[in-house]
Structure 1
Amino acid sequence: MKVLLTGHKGYIGTVLVPMLLDRGHEVTGLDSDLYQDSTFGEGIREIPELKKDIRDVEASDLVGFDAMLHLAGLSNDPLGNLNPQLTYEINHLASVHLAKLSKEVGISRYIFSSSCSNYGAGGNDWLTEESAFNPVTPYGISKVKVEQDVSGLANDDFTPTFLRNATAYGVSPRLRFDLVLNNLVAWAFTTGRVYIKSDGTPWRPIVHIADISRAFIAALEAPRELVHNKAFNVGRNEDNYRIRELADIVKETVPNCEIEYAKDAGPDKRCYRVDCSYIMETLPEFQPQWDARKGAKELYEAYKKVGLTLEEFEGPKYQRIAHIKKLLQEEKLNTNLRWQV
């Protein structure tokens, strides 16, 4: 298929691009490339692209594509909290606008990168795709609103699909350290401490970015009736962990480290345990290949290879919120997060 991938130069997109190409798809990227100075390790696979903010996309940009895979947006809670109005405009309004334009120009598949953050304060019960939304941050709220608005656009010619990804982890050319497993392994490697900011009790489902990519490909290639206007929790049931369990795995992976809790550590209201049975049953082509132990080892080996330092890990290069604040301070971005230079 001819695929337009938004956010192709982001954390997940840089991993998804070569996997789509390997499947024989023709891929064009669309990205404003806010993190062009944040490349980790080896370079990024170059593809035809539109360097454009998703808020500025026009119908003419989308003509000729069979599918849109929509990853682009402010990618986590801290970024979402920076300016909730911008989060609303970028993550919600622009995503709905893209869906409407896609439908208008005849793109038949629109696959949205949603999130298990939709469930937010979900407690200890298993949550399915039918469970109530309970987002607790502007980021989570934005994902819920996109699902609600775009699902109403579905018809015989337009098939939206919503992939509610568990918390991502794994090595990427656009690595992020603001994700729990990536963060814990980096703390352990650079300081000898597995540093936990909560009390360790919250549940969190996690999924490797290569497995998220496999879910996108499975949804893209599935018969229409299996994915038409449907949501899927993306991950595996066995990859729901308490934060303290992840800390134990990191301690076993990274030599000579100890677990340490922050002095003010308390419970995190973001707690949810997600049932991923539906995607496994509905899309048998989706075959996850990673778990936390394998992922922790991959991260440790990557950090070791580049000689990651605490300064790099805590600095603005790989921390999304710190990087954006630095670009704002340097006036490379304006207050609406658009490039000025």
Structure 2
Amino acid sequence: MRVLVTGHEGYLGSVLVPRLIESGHEVVGLDTGLFADGTIGPVPEDVPALRVDLRDVTKDHLAEVAPDAVMHLAALCNDPLGDLDPELTYDVNHRSTVRLAKAAKDAGVTRFLFSSSCSLYGAGTDDAPLDENAAFAPLTPYGESKILSEQDLVGLADDDFSPTFLRNATAYGFSPRLRGDLVVNDLVGHALLAGNIGLRSNGMAWRPLVHADDIASAFIALLEAPRETVHARPFNVGHSDENYLIRDVANLVQEVVGGEVTFAEGAGADARNYRVSCDRIAAEVPEFKPQWTVRKGIEQLVEKYKAYGLSLDDLFGERHQRLKKINALHAAGKIGSDLRWTENAR
């Protein structure tokens, strides 16, 4: 298929695009390039791309590249960034998603794979893993924006337009455009580069975790799955065995890397506390076979951090921290408060 990937120069997009090409698909990107220069190791292969803000995408843009499918990853990508301006979060993550989907539908695109998130379960519960029918309990504008997007995309579904929702567990693992603000990546970095494994909470919250490469595999498997299997349906993306207490993740990092596990002063409970079941995707899309465990991912991160000479300043500075990058671009006058590029950036 010819696939348009939004956010193709992001953390997940930089893993997904090469996998799509390896699978024989033709890829076109869409990205404004806010995080394009945050690379580590080999730079991902360039693909043809639309250089347009997600909020400005029209039917004409979609008709120009004529994709068979859209994989929509672009978003304000984590809770701190989403909290920067909640209204902006809803505009980029929700309203722009719906506009993109309508433009795609009007341009004749038949498949629309939306990168949702298990964050929409939010407060959840630690009593039992949550499946796709569980109640929503979002704690942030980011989580709420995913719910609103899913609901509106269902309203667009018909015989000609088929959306699918990938509710990704919390991502981790190496990417050519690394994020240091993800919990596993962060803990490994602290252990390896600072000698300690610092927890900001008491570590007793549950979190489902999934490697970036397994998320890419899920996108490809769902793209290639029969339409009737995935039409207007959500799938928790990960493996049911890969739910962890954050404290247990820290202990795994300690076993692999070393370093003392420490707790921030006054560290208390994290309101985000949930486990998820990924039995639906395992049963109904058997082509998706996750290859990673958190331990294996920790070992990969250690290997890559060392191989590419990652420094503490790189990992925890603006290079690999999304909110710090946005603040640096804004302070330099390169983007406005609306996160659009300014004339100074040219």
Residue aligning to 1:201: 204
Shift, 1:309, TM fit: 2.3
Residue aligning to 1:41: 41
Pick aligned residue for 1:100 from 94, 98, 102: 102
More strand by share: 1
Q: Deviations over 1:281-331 (max 9, x none)?
A: 010100110000100000011111123222222211111001000000001
Q: Deviations over 1:137-181 (max 9, x none)?
A: 010010110001111111011100000000000101110011110
Report the 3-state secondary structure (helix = DSSP H, G, I; strand = E; otherwise coil) of the residue aligned with 1:163: strand
Gaps of 5+ in 2: none
Shift, 1:126, TM fit: 1.4
Letter of the 1:259 counterpart: V
Letter of the 1:87 counterpart: T
Q: Deviations over 1:98-117 (max 9, x none)?
A: 11111111100000000000
Preserved CA contact (<8 Å) 2:167 2:236:
yes
Residue aligning to 1:53: 53
Report the 3-state secondary structure (helix = DSSP H, G, I; strand = E; otherwise coil) of the residue aligned with 1:4: strand
Q: Deviations over 1:93-134 (max 9, x none)?
A: 000111111111110000000000010000213100000011
Residue aligning to 1:333: 335
* Greater Cα offset, 39-48 or 3-12: 39-48
Shift, 1:337, TM fit: 0.3
* Greater Cα offset, 56-65 or 265-274: 56-65
Letter of the 2:209 counterpart: I
Shift, 1:36, TM fit: 2.2
Q: Deviations over 1:3-59 (max 9, x none)?
A: 111000000001101110111111100000101221112212111111111101110
Alignment partners' CA distance in 2, 1:176 and 1:26 = 26
1:247 aligns with 2:250: yes
Pick aligned residue for 2:296 from 281, 284, 294: 294
TM-score, length of structure 2 as denominator length: 0.97
Preserved CA contact (<8 Å) 2:123 2:271:
yes
Q: Superposed, which structure 2 residues align to 1:220-231 within 5 Å?
A: 220-231=223-234
Alignment partners' CA distance in 1, 2:145 and 2:182 = 19
Alignment partners' CA distance in 2, 1:128 and 1:163 = 13
Report the 3-state secondary structure (helix = DSSP H, G, I; strand = E; otherwise coil) of the residue aligned with 1:273: coil
Alignment partners' CA distance in 2, 1:312 and 1:163 = 30
1:143 aligns with 2:119: no
Q: Deviations over 1:240-293 (max 9, x none)?
A: 0000110011001114x1111111211000111000000000101001100001
TM-score, length of structure 1 as denominator length: 0.98
Alignment partners' CA distance in 1, 2:256 and 2:309 = 17
Superposed structure 1 runs of 4+ greater than 6 Å apart: none
Alignment partners' CA distance in 2, 1:15 and 1:127 = 27
Alignment partners' CA distance in 2, 1:164 and 1:283 = 14
Letter of the 1:175 counterpart: L
Letter of the 1:24 counterpart: G
Pick aligned residue for 1:158 from 154, 158, 161: 161
- Please provide the CA RMSD for this pair: 0.8
Preserved CA contact (<8 Å) 2:18 2:44:
no
Gaps of 5+ in 1: none
Q: Superposed, which structure 2 residues align to 1:312-331 within 5 Å?
A: 312-331=314-333
Residue aligning to 1:77: 79
Report the 3-state secondary structure (helix = DSSP H, G, I; strand = E; otherwise coil) of the residue aligned with 1:274: coil
Residue aligning to 1:179: 182
Q: How many residues align?
A: 340
Residue aligning to 2:286: 284
Letter of the 1:144 counterpart: I
* Greater Cα offset, 300-309 or 141-150: 300-309
Residue aligning to 2:305: 303
